[in-house]
Amino acid sequence: MGSAIRKLFQNSIVGVKRSYFFGERGREVGISFPFLIQQFCRTSRYYLLPVYQWFLSGEQIKMNRKIKTVDREGFTLLEIIAVLIILGVLIAVAVPRYFGIPQDAAETALKTAVSELNARENLAWAKWRADGLSDTVTAITSDLKGFTVDVVDVVDEGNYLLCSGSFNLWSGSFSQQADVSRTPPTDDKPGKWAIITFKD
């Protein structure tokens, strides 16, 4: 760059000297300030162009560096916090449901067993009303596939029409159990089994 500027001034002075000694049409002319400016402008266009191009190349490098810097930007702190909050909410909702799946399945199975007991009660009541035959509560609760009904606090266990109280319903497939109760039948409706509470 320094050599280009040095050549610029040298050629300007040479051009001034040539114009002074030879002039236009062989006549000598005087050196004036406007003449110096004119001569400087004539010679500068050949030497300032590389300087201008060099300046533009430097600006282009800066622009490329800025673009690369923008490309390397990561997530902001606010975005990271938002993602962590969303993950926390999802974990708080999903984890309890995941661990509660076995318990829900066991409770559903116990409810199904109680529904089976009520279906047997309906059949026994229909036989009693039709033929006067009465089954025992033991006959109703026996052979309940996968489940066992144990007596806890029962009145008149052997009497189908009067037997009432609480029983324990459990299964060997899971630890969840249920306290169930039986309401004796009447002339208008059959006996009914109901879950009192679930327990481990």
Task: Give this prediction's pTM.
Answer: 0.53
Between CA 41 and CA 43 the distance in angstroms is 6
pLDDT digits 0-9 by tens, 84-105: 999 999 888 888 777 778 888 8
Between CA 170 and CA 189 the distance in angstroms is 27
Mean predicted lDDT score pLDDT of the chain? 75
**61-75, 147-161, 172-186: lowest mean pLDDT where?**
61-75
Q: What confidence score (pLDDT) does residue 42 get?
A: 61
* DSSP track, 57-74: HHHHHHHHHHHHHHHT--
**62-66, 82-86, 169-173: lowest mean pLDDT where?**
62-66
Q: How far is CA 63 from CA 72, 124, 130, in A?
A: 14, 91, 98
